[in-house]
């Protein structure tokens, strides 16, 4: 069960080899029957959402490169467009955005969780345990961090709101989204030669080395990327706990926090 099919009927046999017992995420019968309705098919929407998140993270990473692989960027951007179109059609775009205010952190955690786990399960068994350890560790850290960071993040968000989202009406998320896509394409063409240096000038490169992030993504096909994604989403959660307005803003925040911390 994956966000693979764009009509509302999920492909049931995907992801799991035949003969292996499938885990039940949600009532599948429900999903078969109802079309669209957000409440009726939460898992499909959740997975579609996580696919969208993943695509946006990928796009942002392209965005940071001076000369990204154009074919890959275009294909990812088209995928994002397609998901956005579908979400606008069935109305989930608004609902998700309305819901996202305030309590995104948990939703997001769950969504990336599902995505990573499902891909790991078919990868290597041993990694799952490592992953779940990581996850619990992360939760512990998170609870500490939120209390410690609350002041910092609120300062950051208010500043970010001014800097980045002053154009974006909180209700007009589509415009915001379009904007971020447009920015990405703009940079595909006209690269500010200093952008990457500027971005990373204050960053402790030993940890946030762009190469490490990217080679983790490109090179290590088994597990690297999931960890990267996870680290991104951990950034996102600490951030989004402080009233971040939209999903998309968050992705931008992730990058910005990466840059500023």
Partner 1 sequence: MEEDLDARKINSTFLRDHSYATEADIISTVEFNPTGELLATGDKGGRVVIFQREQESKNQPHRRGEYNVYSTFQSHEPEFDYLKSLEIEEKINKIRWIPQQNAAYFLLSTNDKTVKLWKVSERDKRPEGYNLKDEDGRLRDPSTITTLRVPILRPMDLMVEATPRRVFSNAHTYHINSISVNSDYETYMSADDLRINLWNLEITNRSFNIVDIKPANMEELTEVITAAEFHPHHCNTFVYSSSKGTIRLCDMRSSALCDKHAKFFEEPEDPSNRSFFSEIISSISDVKFSHSGKYIMTRDYLTVKVWDLNMENRPVETYQVHDYLRSKLCSLYENDCIFDKFECVWNGSDSVIMTGSYNNFFRMFDRNTKRDVTLEASRENSKPRAILKPRKVCVGGKRRKDEISVDSLDFSKKILHTAWHPSENIITVAATNNLYIFQDKVN
What is the contact surface with partner 1 in residues (CB under 8 A)?
A: 2-7, 11, 13-20, 48, 51, 54, 58, 66-67, 69-72, 74-75, 77-79, 82-83, 115-116, 118-119, 122-123, 181-182, 185-186, 188-189, 191, 193-194, 217-222, 224-226, 229
Q: Which CB sits closer to partner 1, 2 or 255? A: 2
Q: Which CB sits closer to partner 1, 116 or 258? A: 116
Separation of first and last alpha carbons in the chain? 37
Minimum CB–partner distance for residue 143 and partner 1 (Å): 27
Q: Which CB sits closer to partner 1, 4 or 110? A: 4
DSSP-derived secondary structure letter, 124? -
Q: Which CB sits closer to partner 1, 18 or 39? A: 18
Residue 245 to residue 160: CA distance in whole angstroms:
11
Q: Residue 214: CB partners within 8 Å, gap ≥ 6? A: 61, 65
Asked whether the beta carbons of 237 and 108 are under 8 A apart, the reply is yes
Residue 258 to residue 5: CA distance in whole angstroms:
33
Residue corresponding to tokens 């960053």: 203
Q: Residue 249: CB partners within 8 Å, gap ≥ 6? A: 160, 164, 165, 168, 176
Q: Which CB sits closer to partner 1, 101 or 122? A: 122
Q: Which CB sits closer to partner 1, 118 or 153? A: 118
Q: Which CB sits closer to partner 1, 72 or 159? A: 72
Residue 92 to residue 36: CA distance in whole angstroms:
8
Residue 245 to residue 238: CA distance in whole angstroms:
14
CA dist 132 → 22, 120, 121, 207 (Å): 19, 11, 12, 22
Rg of the chain in Å (alpha carbons): 18
Torsion of CA 27, 32, 34, 39, to 10 degrees: 30
Asked whether the beta carbons of 196 and 66 are under 8 A apart, the reply is yes
């Amino acid at each position: 069960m994956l966000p693979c099919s764009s009509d509302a009927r999920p492909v049931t046999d995907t992801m799991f080899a035949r003969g292996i017992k499938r885990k039940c995420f949600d009532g599948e019968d429900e999903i078969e029957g109802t079309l669209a309705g957000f409440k009726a098919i939460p898992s499909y929407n959740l997975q579609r959402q996580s696919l969208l998140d993943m695509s946006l993270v990928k796009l942002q990473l392209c965005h940071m490169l001076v000369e990204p692989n154009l074919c890959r960027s275009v294909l990812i951007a088209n995928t994002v467009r397609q998901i956005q179109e579908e979400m606008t059609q069935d109305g989930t775009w608004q609902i998700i955005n309305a819901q996202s205010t305030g309590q995104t952190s948990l939703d997001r955690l769950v969504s990336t969780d599902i995505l990573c786990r499902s891909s790991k399960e078919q990868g290597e068994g041993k990694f799952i345990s490592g992953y779940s350890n990581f996850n619990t560790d992360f939760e512990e850290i998170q609870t500490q961090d939120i209390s410690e960071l609350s002041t910092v993040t609120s300062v950051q968000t208010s500043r970010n709101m001014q800097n980045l989202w002053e154009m974006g009406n909180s209700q007009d998320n589509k415009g915001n989204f379009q904007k971020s896509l447009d920015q990405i394409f703009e940079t595909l063409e006209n690269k500010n030669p200093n952008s990457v240096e500027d971005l990373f000038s204050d960053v402790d490169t030993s940890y946030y080395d762009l190469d490490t992030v990217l080679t983790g993504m490109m090179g290590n096909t088994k597990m690297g990327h999931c960890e990267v994604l996870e680290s991104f989403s951990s950034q996102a959660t600490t951030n989004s706990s402080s009233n971040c307005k939209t999903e998309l803003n968050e992705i931008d925040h992730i990058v910005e926090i990466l840059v500023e911390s």
